[in-house]
Amino acid sequence: MTTTTNTLAERIDRVWDDEVMPTLCDYIGIPNLSISFDPDWEANGHMEAAVAMIRDWCTARPIARLTVDVQRLPGRTPLVICEVPASTADLADRTVLLYGHLDKQPEMVGWRAGLDPWKAVVEGDRLYGRGGADDGYAAFAALLAIEGAQSAGLPHGRCIVLIEASEESGSPDLPAHLDALADRLGRPELVLCLDSGCMDTERLWVTTSLRGMAGGTVRVEVLTEGVHSGAASGVAPSSFRLLRQILDRLEDSTTGEILLPELHVDIPDDRRREAERTARQLTRTVADDLPFAGTTRPMVDDPTAQLLARTWSPTLSYTGMDGLPPTGRAGNVLRPSTSLTLSFRLPPTCDHEAAAGAIEAAVLADPPNGAMVTFEARSATGWNAPSFAPWLVTALDDASTASFGEPASTFGEGGTIPFMGMLAAMYPDAQFVITGALVPGSNAHGPNEFLHLPTARRVTECLARLLGAHASAPTPG
């Protein structure tokens, strides 16, 4: 066992150094924004460049009987598909599905001196740059896990790797791809997702819940053009003030509590207990790892309450605004309109379509002062993990102990991966392992995003071990 452990870890470290890092750094340099942020993605060519880079790297891997394809559907972003037959004939029908994505969030402002969203920079154990951690490393880790399992003599079932290109926009293109792949996918027994995070770097962390999301852009229009504020204020209403009235229907501005009952759920007892257990394991709270400015305080202080607040409570963030000039160019003008992008996070078991409907109805009902109000909600499902099979509980602990030195642990993640909700509905009997290398402070979506390289390597090693454990586990049913 020691020889296998050393051989597997050493191989993964070597390939990461020699063959993953150069291509991953090149990938960071591609501004392949997700389709919500680059409607002209097809013409701009950045997405295609990232797809070609990932496809070529995967194709070159020394993996027995590997095939790599790019599925293209009209009007949809591409999907990279890698398939590796099972190591032995008796495992041919036992499918493992590995998932990641290659599209990126916008660059954002606030990158510190010496860093740039489209330039890979290595500082110690950190690889900085947009998309390295979320989720560019996933394709490399997934293929290397299969390669590592084969090199270490570990058995594995049939493996299919899907790397999509619309996740950061809510995966609107993925259902069509899954429909087209239905016969090829079969019925996966195990799903391994690499798009999540971890609460520390001491063990393998497995995500047991993901929030859903809903939102859209509300526009309040009061005039057809801007007019002198001295001439119009007091007669024409402020679009910003009317927008504030609409927001008061959605959120208590003092506490941040969401006022729409359709967005709330009862927290399952097992998830409460999990949050309590996770809080006891950690030496830092969620708030300790946030870059608060000045004397800003968190909304809740208790460590367990913080974990539950970021996973099982609905929240509202305001992520974009139009209609206001920069402060240095703000003339004395009553502006004609204000637009605000609303981003709701929904509890994992919340009905996202009902939530979106409730939000849209509240925004559009009885427009203040008869103003023109527009809003179109969009949403994505959350996910709550099924119970782990006994073999998987043991496999997770064994893999984590061999790779990190500590048994695995679980937690609820605050983000959204729409693919998981889709798969859970399609394959209700599958086992799910959602993990990743987004350590505290990695700041996916924000400035100074980084991939913690030692964690990425050890997660890769754990995946290889999980492939072997699945192949040796009892056949479901």
Query: What string of pLDDT tens digits covers the 477 residues of the chain?
Result: 444 556 899 999 999 999 999 999 999 999 999 999 999 999 999 999 999 999 999 999 999 999 999 999 999 999 999 999 999 999 999 999 999 999 999 999 999 999 999 999 999 999 999 999 999 999 999 999 999 999 999 999 999 999 999 999 989 999 999 999 999 999 999 999 999 999 999 999 999 999 999 999 999 999 999 999 999 999 999 999 999 999 999 999 999 999 999 999 999 999 999 999 999 999 999 999 999 999 999 999 999 999 999 999 999 999 999 999 999 999 999 999 999 999 999 999 999 999 999 999 999 999 999 999 999 999 999 999 999 999 999 999 999 999 999 999 999 999 999 889 888 889 999 999 999 999 999 999 999 999 999 999 999 999 999 999 999 999 986
Q: Who contacts 357 (Cβ-Cβ below 8 Å, separation ≥6)?
A: 262, 377
Cβ neighbours of residue 104 under 8 Å, at least 6 residues apart?
31, 32, 33, 34, 130, 131, 134, 136, 168
Looking up tokens 């990232």 gives 50
Domain range summary for the chain, segments of one domain joined by +: 2-210+382-472, 212-285+302-380
CA 110 – CA 112 distance, rounded (Å) = 6
Which pTM was predicted?
0.91
Q: CB of 199 within 8 A of CB of 436?
A: no
User: Residue 441: which region, alpha, beta or left (left: phi > 0; alpha: psi -120 to 50)?
Assistant: left
Amino acid identity, position 266? D
Same fold, 2-210+382-472 and 212-285+302-380: no
| The token pair that represents 127 in the structure block | 């690889």
> In angstroms, rounded to a whole number, what is the distance separating the alpha carbons of residues 340 and 5?
52
Backbone angles phi and psi of 267, in degrees to 5: -80, 125
Half-sphere exposure in the Cβ direction for 313 (13 Å, CA) = 18
What totals of helices (H) and strands (E) does the chain contain, helices first? 15, 19
CB 360 within 8 A of CB 246: no
Q: How far apart are CA 439 and CA 459, in angstroms?
A: 12
Beta bridge partners of 158: 95
Print burial letters for 205-226: b (CB count within 10 Å at least 16), e (below 16). bbbbbbbbbbbbbbbbbbbeee
Domain 212-285+302-380 has CATH 3.30.70.360: yes
Architecture of domain 2-210+382-472: 3-Layer(aba) Sandwich (3.40)
